[in-house]
Structures are given as C-alpha cells and as structure tokens.
Amino acid sequence: MTPLVPGSRRRSALVAAWPRILGRQLGVAALLLLGFVAPVVVTLVLTHLGEQGIRVERDLQSVVTELHVQDGWEWRVISGRENARAGQGPITASRTRLDELLARATGEGLPADAAERVRAAIRTYQVAVDQELRLLAVGKWEAAATFDVSDVDPAFEQAQTVLAAEGSLVAVHTARALEYSDAGPAVMLLAIVTVSVVQGRRRRINVQHEAERAGEARYRTLIDQSSDLVLVTDRNGRCVFLSPSAERFLSSPEGAVAGESPQAVPFDLLSVVDPQDRARVAARLHAVTPERGADLELKLIGGHGTRRFAASVQDLEANPSVGGLVLTARDVTDKLLMLGELEHRALHDPLTGLPNRTLLTDRMDQALIVDRGVGTALVLLDLDRFREINDTFGHHHGDEVLRQVGPRLAQVVGPDATVARIAGDEFAVLLPRTTDLTAAISAAAALRATLEIPFLVDGAVLDLEASAGVVISGLHGTDASTLLQRADIAMYVAKTDARGVFVYDPELDARIPSKVSLLGDLRRALEHDELVLHYQPKVSVRTGEVVGVEALVRWEHPIRGMVAPDDFIPLAEHTGLIGPLTRRVLDLALTQARIWSDAGRPLVVSVNLSARNLVDDVLIRQVVGLLAEHGVRPELLELEVTETAIMTEPATAHQLLEALSRLGIRISIDDFGVGYTSIGQITSLPVDELKIDRSFVTTMDVDPDDELIVRSIVELGHNLDLTIVAEGVETEEVLTALSAVGCDVAQGYHLSRPLPVAAMDAWLDAHVANPTWIHEPPPLRVVPRPRRYGDRQEAHRPD
C-alpha cells in the first residue's frame, strides 16, 4: 500500500470535513441574514403601524373639526342669526364629510368597537340637533331653547368626550408602535442595532414633526374659523395673542383695538371689560390654577358696542408653546335676549302685556312666604257684558277695552300690587300685606268702580261692569292654588247671584249645592282618576269605513253616579279647571290612540277644546309633550273647536291653531252653521274639517230648509277642500239624505251612541265583520223643497 504524502492527507481531510464547514458557514450566514432582515421587517411593520395611527389621529381630529362646524351652525340657528332652513344645508354637508372621515379612519385601522362608540355619540348629538331644528321650524322657540340646554348641549359634550378618549387611545398605540419600531432582537449586531435605532428615531422625529405641524395647522384653522374669541393673557390681563374673531370684535371702525392704540397686541384685557365686571375678572385671572380653571360671564366692549360673553379661563403658563392664561369667550348676547323674550312671553299675556296666571301664581307664592301665609289678599274680576261689546262693535274694540283695563286697575291699587290677566275677560289683583278683610273688600269695590267708568274706543263709548270674588290668606287658605280656586268660587257666586263683590264662605257648599259643591268634587275627580272617556265612531257615508272616533268625557262620581257633561264642563270653563280637565282628556285619548295603533287599528281621535283653551299659553306645550310621551303620530289627533270659541279672541285662536296645524294635528270646526264665522275667516284658518251642527242634520229629511243648509255647507266645504261631517244622525232616512247631498262622514246615535272602550272595541269588531253599507249616492235626486221669498213660495227646480 502506498503511503499518503502529507499534502494529500490534508486534502483528503479537507474533503471529508467540507460538509461540516459548509454547514457552519451557512448557519452563520443564516444567523447574520436573520439578524439583519428580522429587525428590518419588524421595524417596517411597526413603523407602518405608527404612521397608520397618525393618519387615524388626523382623521379623528378632522371629525372633531366637523363636529364644531355643526355646533357653530346650530348656534347660529338657535340664537336667531339664521333660520332653520338656512342652517340645514351646511349642517348636512358637514355630516357627510364627517361620515367620510370616520369611514376612512376605520379603514386605516381605527378599531371597529371604537368607531361604533364614536358613531353612537355623534348620532345622539345629531338626533338632538334635528329635533331642535324641527321645533324652531314650527316656531317653538321656547321649547327649542329648553331642549338646547337639556339635550343638545349635553349630547355635544358627550360626543367630544368620546372622541377625545378614543383619540387618546390611538395616540398611545401609535407612540408604542413608533418606539418599538426602534428596537431589534438581542442577537442583532451592534452596527445593525445602531443603524436601526438611528433610522427609527429619525423616522419617529419626522413623523412627530409632521403630526405637530398638522395639529398646529388644524388648531389654527379651528381658531381662525371659530366665532368664539380666544385670547392669551398673563395674570395681570396683558394680552399677547388674539384670535381673528377677537380682533374683529375688538377693532373699531377705524381699525384700532377698542380702548388701546392701533397696536393690536400686547394690550390690556381689563381695558375692554365692562367697568362693573373688571374687579371680578381680575380676581379670577389671579385665582385660576392648572388643576382648576374658571368659568365666568362678562361684558366686553367692542368696536361696535358692548356684548355679553360666557367665558372660560385655563392656566397654560407651564406650556412653553402657550405660556399664559387662555381665555375662550362665546357671545351669548342674542341667546340671553332670546331667552329673556321667551321668558317674558311665557309669563305675560300677549294682548295686554300683564302678568298671566303663571306669573301671578309665582308672585303669590313669594308673597305668602314673606307674609308667612297670613296677610295676602286676592281679588278675581270677571267683566260683565264684555261679550256684547265683541258682538256689537267687533273684536278690535273688545281688545282695546282689555288693554285699558290693566292700567285702570293698577291706578287703584298702587305699585306693590300685581294686576294679571288670567283668562279671556278675567283679571286678578294680588294685594300683599293685606291682613284686614274689610280692606280687601274695599279694594274690590274700588276696582269694580273704576271699571264702571265708560271706556272710549275709536269714538265709541262702551260701558262695562264686573263681578269680584275675594279671598285672604290665613282665613281662606295658605297656598296659592287653594286661594285661586276659592276666589274662583267666590267670583262665580258674585256673577250668578249679581252680588257685585262676594267673599268666599267655607259654608258655601251647603248653601249652594247644585253648582258650587261640584267644583270641589271635580278637583278631586281630576286627582283620583274619576274621569273616563266614551268614544263615538265617525263613519264614511259612502263606504261605511270607520274614519275616526270622538272622545267624550264622562264623570263617574263615587256618590252621584254618572254626572252629565253639561253639569260640570261649563263649571270647569268658568273656573280655572278647564286647563287640567283638557289635559286629562288629551292624556286619556292619546293613551287609547296608541293602544289602537299598536293593535293595527290606527284611528283619528277627536278631542274638544273650549274657548278658554284657545287663550291658554301652555296648551301647545302640553299637546306636544303628550304626543311624545305616548308615541302617537300627530295626524292621529284631531282638535275640535266651535265657531263661538274661535270668535272669542280670533287673533289668539288663529295663532294657536296655526301652530297646532304645523305640527300635523288636524283641526275641526264643530257646530258649524250656528256661529258667526265668515267664509273669509274659514279660508284663513288652518281647518281640515267642518262638522255641521246637529240642529240642521236631525230633521233634514223632512225640513227642506235644513236640507238646503246642509247641502250648501257640503258644497262650500268641498270647494275649500275640507272634509264634511254631519253630527246628530239618528235615523236611516237622515243617513240616506246625507248620502244624496254628498256629505263625507256621519256621526250619531243611529250608528252608535258614545261607548266605553271595551264596548267600542266590540262595536268596531262587529262593524268590520258585518259590512252592510248601501249608501252610494244616487246619480240624480229631485227633491221638491220650497224656497221662500217673503210670504211667497215657489217650488225649487230639480238639481
């Protein structure tokens, strides 16, 4: 065997060891590759996540901007600077942009649950704004202002809170991603670590600078576009920054800042604060801390006058980019004026400007507190023969008389007393610090006497008288409600017995049981749910379909049994109980309307209003509140008013009916044909239906004159595009006659008497199950009915 030479031995060993060497080299290369690639991949992924988070942050900030845009337009509308229709367009456009931004943020990585929380908060705010705009669109300024405070503002604050919370979470995740993007595995070579860290920090710095620039631009845009004033000041009130809106407000027409030289900043903030507010504002500036800001109201003197602002102050002295106190102020002058006007309207009679029942009650409460329940007198006055003035001279003269009554009464009692108008022709005089009943009676007599002096209106001399009811606290009651109720009773007795002045007598019920004793029972009936509703159907003359029901109140007296409406409704109308009674009827009627609607049987429910209701300033709020409480569509409620009720105060009635009609509520004129409403007035009223008085309907099949009247009303109503209802249908013959003249709807005992709810449901089921309607109008009807010309009669020609 040939021995191997040393070189060949090494070559053989190298060949034998090559696989192991190659494996080690590959392993080292793999480790090197892994150590370089893995950090790069991790860094790229985390950097991408960080940049993605920044984009989400930017979108959420833009969402906040759009929310402020919507809030700005909402404020312009509620403050009266823009109408609801003008504000709807910009608000809708902003909402569209907001939805797009939120969708983009979701696509860029905003978690789905976070996006849903943001959407829910914004949706709540937008729904509140829509409801507020609807109230403003129908002229409900007072309700809109209340709703703005109770719902809109809290919803806006909640939306901001949710957006801030979600934005903070996104910012935290973004920062972590950017920080982690700088780290690499422990096995990473020092050079690779150094390069990655440097590159990561560079990227982070660039991204942070970009975010800061975007944020600064965003907030600069917000400040520039905001109508709020933003000022940066030191604790002595020296301003170093003014937002554009602040510059515009403070600049005089010549371009100088009010109270200073033309140099805009720095300037003394206190120099443009109203002198009465300066000490308070200066104290707040020194008291504010980083942990506790300050809210205040102040008046600022601008280049075009003084305005009132609601302001907040935050201490950002420690923030190097601010270095001072930030005062943000919103102009609330118009809002306060509007709220003041709304409050005045809510507490005063629109015709006379006198306090109404609400303000009178409030002042009574205050007087009773001061007098400790003893020593406050109340006189209620009812004008006798006032309706004669309206009927004879017209409502212009009647309104002018009412305007003259207040000043006359005030001259008698002096400045400490309160003179109020509490109903159409009823006035009240509150006499504080009056402990002597004799003095109260003397005051009532003097008040009557001044009203007996003739009134002069447009050259006409008009005579009036009055009936007065007197009560005094301690003797007749210790609270406003009791005193008002007992003064009502006393006034009622004075009027019905022609006594002039009558003092409430606790023994009154025993002496006059027929009427007055019912009054106390009626109050208790309202409190103990003794009132119930019966329903009478309204049926289509042509098809027999039930098109609605009329709600008629009944009183189930625990002792007297069923009390007829004619016995207690006039009593309620004459006293202050008609308001609570109407509200109770509306509540019961809408409760049943909702039950029928839920059962798949939606019926229009009609409720009667009295003349007193048409001058009640709380009626609309009650109707709107009850519709919302029961969830009933407005078109399922119909309110019936008589011609006489409308003509009591036509201007006020027209205004109220217009407001109700704009809400979608149907309006019906009841007992049409027996009042004084002219055709011109009917065309100007927001009427949907005419109900022909039963006196014409009941005998129209045998009395040609009544048939002619009914036919004329039907033709008139149809020409005005109104639904015509005939009430008092008691025979089949009358129903046939109504079909012949083209009447739309019938109501009366021939179809059904008023029924309790259970019986009404049974009747409706039976009526649907047995459709036996055969009242199609004939194509031609010849009725011989005489037409009278003086004493001569001649046959009427065929139609």
Give the integer Cα–Cα distance in Å for 286 and 223: 25
Which sign does the torsion angle of CA 751, 756, 759, 765 carry? Answer: positive
Write the single-letter amino acid at 727. Answer: E
Element (H, E) at 499: none
- Region at 96 (left for phi over 0; alpha for psi -120 to 50; beta for the rest): alpha
C-alpha distances in Å from residue 619, one per residue of 198, 253, 347, 515, 524:
74, 48, 14, 27, 22
Distances (CA, A) of 91 to 68, 71, 117, 163: 10, 9, 21, 19
Using a CB cutoff of 8 Å and minimum separation of 24, what contacts does 393-400 make?
A: 393/457, 393/460, 393/462, 395/647, 395/649, 395/650, 395/651, 396/458, 397/457, 397/458, 397/460, 397/462, 399/351, 399/649, 399/651, 400/455, 400/457, 400/458
CA distance 742 to 711: 8
- How many Cβ atoms are within 10 Å of 20's Cβ, its own excluded? 9
pLDDT digits (tens, 9 = 90+) for 341-368: 888 888 999 889 999 988 999 999 999 9
Model confidence, pTM: 0.47
**Residue 189's pLDDT is what?**
45
Residues 65 and 221 sit within 8 Å (Cβ to Cβ): yes
Strand partners, 548: 538, 604
| Helix (H) or strand (E) segment spanning residue 566 | helix 565-574
Contact 655, 617 (CB under 8 A): no
Low-confidence residues of the chain, pLDDT below 70?
A: 1-54, 79-81, 165, 167-226, 252-265, 373, 508-517, 520, 575-576, 675-681, 769-799
Residue 768 is predicted with a pLDDT of 73
- Closest by CA to 314, choosing from 381, 217, 382, 230, is 230
* Residue pair 228/220 in contact by the 8 Å Cβ criterion: no
Three-state SS at 777: coil
Strands of the sheet with 238-242, listed across from one edge: 267-268, 238-242, 229-233, 324-331, 305-316, 294-302
Instruction: Give the H or E element holding residue 316.
Output: strand 305-316
Q: Residue 56: which residues within 8 A CB-CB, separation 6 or more?
A: 105, 108, 109, 110, 170, 174
- The radius of gyration of the chain from alpha carbons, rounded to an integer in Å, stands at 40
User: Is beta strand 546-557 parallel, antiparallel or unpaired with respect to 238-242?
Assistant: unpaired
CA distance 738 to 499: 49
Please enumerate, as own/partner, the contacts of 280-284 that have beta carbons within 8 Å and a separation of 24 or more.
Answer: 281/237, 282/237, 284/313
Q: Is 742 within 8 Å of 718 (Cβ atoms)?
A: yes
Which of these, 249, 250, 231, lies nearest to 241 by C-alpha position? 231
Contacts of 215 (CB under 8 A, 6+ apart): 61
d(CA 487, CA 509) in angstroms, rounded, equals 14
Closest by CA position to 575, among listed 357, 312, 277, 794:
357
Nearest to 501 by CA among 384, 376, 364: 384
Task: Say if residues 354 and 421 touch (Cβ distance below 8 Å).
Answer: yes
Longest dimension (CA), the chain: 168
Please write the tens of the pLDDT for every residue from 233-292. Answer: 999 989 888 888 888 888 755 545 555 443 455 778 888 999 999 999 999 999 999 888
- Alpha helix locations (H) across 371-462? 386-393, 395-413, 437-451
pLDDT reported for residue 612: 82
- Bond prior to 154 in cis (omega within 30° of 0): no
- Which letter does DSSP use for residue 188 in this model? S
- Identify each DSSP E strand in 463-529 by its residue range: 465-472, 501-503
Cα dihedral value 73, 76, 82, 84, nearest 10: 60
Order of strands, sheet of 426-431, starting from the edge strand that comes earlier in the sequence: 418-421, 426-431, 377-384, 465-472, 501-503
Helical H segments across 604-725, by residue range: 619-630, 643-648, 650-662, 679-684, 694-697, 704-719
DSSP conformation class of 454: P
Which of 388, 434, 382 lies closest to 405 in space, CA to CA? 382
Bridge partners for 418 per DSSP: 430
Classified as helix, coil or strand, 712 is helix
Q: Please give the C-alpha separations between residue 798 and each of 140, 189, 696, 718, in angstroms, as whole numbers.
A: 53, 116, 21, 21
Task: Centre a 10 Å sphere on the Cβ of residue 657 and count the other Cβ atoms it contains.
Answer: 21
- Give the integer Cα–Cα distance in Å for 358 and 404: 21
Supply 644's token pair: 């006489």
Q: Which two tokens stand for residue 411?
A: 């001259």
CA dihedral in degrees (508, 510, 512, 515; nearest 10)?
90
| Alpha carbons 77 and 131: distance in angstroms, whole number | 13
- Residue 427 has phi, psi (to 5 degrees) of -125, 155
Confidence at residue 50, expressed as pLDDT on a 0 to 100 scale: 52
Q: Which letter, b or e, does each residue of 773-787 get, where b requires 16 or more Cβ atoms within 10 Å of its Cβ? A: bebeeeeeeeeeeee
In 693-761, which ranges are E strands?
Answer: 723-727, 745-747
CB within 8 Å of 196: residues ≥ 6 apart? 39, 40, 43, 182, 184, 188
Residue 427's H or E segment, with its range, is strand 426-431
Transcribe 41-100 into DSSP letters.
HHHHHHHHHHHHHHHHHHHHHHHHHHHHHHHHHHHHHHTTSS-HHHHHHHHHHHHHHHHH
Question: How is residue 116 annotated by DSSP?
Answer: H
Element spanning 33, H or E: helix 6-78
Close Cβ partners of 48 (under 8 Å, ≥ 6 residues apart):
none
H runs (alpha helix) in 181-306: 190-225, 244-250, 278-287
Q: What is the pLDDT of residue 562?
A: 85
- Four-residue CA torsion sign, 437, 441, 442, 443: positive
Instruction: Judge contact between 741 and 799, C-beta under 8 A.
Output: no
